[in-house]
Amino acid sequence: MVKAGRRYPLVIYTRMIDRWWPAIFFLGLALLALAWPFYQDLYTRLTEPWRWMTLAGLGAILIFISFIMLALRKSAYVQPFGDHLLLATPFLRMNISYRRILRTTTASMAAMFPPKSLRGMKREIIEPLASMTAVVIELNAFPISPAALKFFLSPFFFKDRTPHFVILTQNWMGFSTELESLRASGNQPLQHRTANQSILSKLPKK
């Protein structure tokens, strides 16, 4: 059975969803409120039903989307396993083999993504997270094409063009410790097998 570590939610996705789902929810409520007078008026309800139905339908769809976003709030995470790291988002699940990992380091988000160098929505997202520490996983190569990664992942997963991932979690120290522990234990069976083979090879053959 493959040993599994804890799940560590990705703060970037939590931040983005927390920023958008309330606005979408209240916009849906506002559309329902606008639909109510048209529905309440019997003449309009019978002669022009599309008025209240359109507003109510759009409002219901937006409220439904906001609930889906809320349900997906913790669906983006990283989870170390015995031989790989799982990076999961609502639209991508990717296994990163430990053989691809060269090293892990830590850095502050402000150092990698200076808020003053960003504009618009990116700056609004990163400013509250600038003081947090992220784990940078340096790779010998990306698991899939960089173009696909940039399509499915936030730009805050990449500080430059080199193969790596910037992983921002609330418990960066726990994630880093568990990742390194599982990486080390994952290498032990191979070392034991190599040692056993070398001992057996020295025994006299009958």
Tokens of 72: 């997906």
Q: Could you report the per-residue pLDDT of 141-178, keeping only the tens digit for each? A: 999 999 999 998 989 999 999 999 999 999 999 999 99
Structural domain boundaries of the chain?
Answer: 15-71, 77-191
Within 13 Å of residue 109, how many CA atoms lie on the same side as its CB? Answer: 24
Contact 156, 166 (CB under 8 A): yes
Could you name the CATH architecture of 77-191?
A: Roll (2.30)
pTM greater than the 0.75 cutoff? no
What's the pLDDT tens digit per position in 100-150? 999 999 999 999 999 998 888 888 888 999 999 999 999 999 999 999 999
